[in-house]
Chain A
Amino acid sequence: SQKIEQNSEALNIQEGKTATLTCNYTNYSPAYLQWYRQDPGRGPVFLLLIRENEKEKRKERLKVTFDTTLKQSLFHITASQPADSATYLCALRMTTDSWGKLQFGAGTQVVVTP
């Protein structure tokens, strides 16, 4: 069966360090992968998208890698700040799925302490 796995345990990290989150998937052939941020009581907010033929994408302090051989995406927050504390979700669309059908991982909570 299809599965998306993200670290279930919260990631506690000190301000200024790099946070690294993983998103592993099985039995998918994703056309692309997206990362979202979700704050308590709010809806997810889009951060980055990476396509199956891209290895790496950057946006300010964020970096995403995509390894279709390992079936894994890594999400990095460099020089982390307390304001980066949130839950981060990865989402995939299978090439065989209808265009709008994103499937989300359960998310990883990040806590950045001063």
Chain B
Amino acid sequence: DAGVIQSPRHEVTEMGQEVTLRCKPISGHDYLFWYRQTMMRGLELLIYFNNNVPIDDSGMPEDRFSAKMPNASFSTLKIQPSEPRDSAVYFCASSLGSRAEGNQPQHFGDGTRLSIL
């Protein structure tokens, strides 16, 4: 089975540029998550979707960040304009929902390593 696929794996760009990160979740999963990982702050949830609808975006750092999920098989995380402090590894994860138990594991992609110069 194909896992969560993220692209690009690495991105280096200059401050002020727009950055778009892409994610293809596991087929059939109805939850999609975007995380950011840094040495200082660890793994932080930015936003997550259920059936393509954003449910909780309280972790999105500021208006420069936006995320969309136009269909069940694709999501983007956009940073515009980018700043050096946005440098981090960004992970996408997906899972099956379970309203009764709410305890499904999350399946992570291998991340996009973003460097803003």
Contacts and interface: CB of A to CB of B under 8 A. Distances in A.
B102 A43 contact: no
Contacts, number: 55
Interface residue tally of chain A, by bracket? 20 to 34
A42 interface: yes
B105 interface: yes
Contacts of A89: 43
Contacts of A41: 110-111
Nearest to B103: A32
B110 A100 contact: no
Contacts of B42: 104-107
A34 interface: yes
Given A32-B103, A100-B48, A45 B108 contact: yes
Interface residue tally of chain B, by bracket? 20 to 34
B56 A98 contact: yes
A99 B33 CA distance: 12
A107 B37 CA distance: 12
Contact of A100 (B4, B31, B109, B111): B31
A51 B110 contact: no
Interface of B: 4, 31, 33, 42-45, 48, 50, 55-56, 91, 93, 95, 97, 99, 102-103, 105-111
